[in-house]
Amino acid sequence: MTDTAPLSGTPTDAPWDPPLGPALLASGRCIEEEQVLDDLLADLASPAATARGRGPVGLSASAAGGPG
């Protein structure tokens, strides 16, 4: 991703992706959620995400097609 802003401050911990903070520090760049929204939504809609109960925002796992 080439169109990102310089990182300022300290990255927030990302318990779902522990290497994310160190990767942002190493790159010196930040990534806004809006820049990767399609990827985030696709990940949330994936079978693996719904199996973990992390379906699309605003939907329960069962409403998203997952177990529950």
Give me the pLDDT at residue 61, please.
Answer: 42
pLDDT digits (tens, 9 = 90+) for 1-36: 558 889 888 777 888 888 988 888 899 988 888 998
55, 61 Cβ separation under 8 angstroms: yes
pLDDT digits (tens, 9 = 90+) for 34-66: 998 999 899 888 887 766 665 554 444 444 444
pTM metric for this prediction: 0.52
Q: What are the structure tokens assigned to 31, written together?
A: 């990534």
Give me the pLDDT at residue 64, please.
Answer: 42
Give me the pLDDT at residue 54, please.
Answer: 59
